[in-house]
Amino acid sequence: MAEHRYDSEADAIYITLRSSKYMYGKDLDDERRIDYSSSHQPIGIELLSVSRGVNLYGLPSKEEVTNILGIYGIKAYSLTPYAYGRSETGIPNVAFSVQFIGTEDEELDKTEAGVKEEVTA
């Protein structure tokens, strides 16, 4: 299992994927960042606001990340964009599929996983 540091006060976790020198980082969004080596290999993942759940979409080593999150009871889900377009008024529209990750016996509530159902125009 990868090295990891969980800080409950900061509501954050850092997962070290491999031991290499940091070259740059890429933010996937405000709560997820991937650190890379000079050979463009992911070396670490920083996750913020983890108590609301973690979106696995776009993260490397998803299975390992899911296992580490499970140690702390952190819910995981995959919010995957699958359709793009524009409304008649030109407003961008994106459709997402949501897959909740957990045991078969466990029912996951969308609000527990940090997923909001809202439409903005």
**pLDDT on residue 116:** 47
Q: What is the pLDDT of residues 13-71, one digit of tens each?
A: 999 999 999 999 999 999 999 999 999 999 999 999 999 999 999 999 999 999 999 99
Q: Which of 48, 61, 43, 100 is nearest to 77 (CA)?
A: 100
**pLDDT on residue 71:** 95
Nearest-angstrom CA–CA distance, 38 and 15: 18
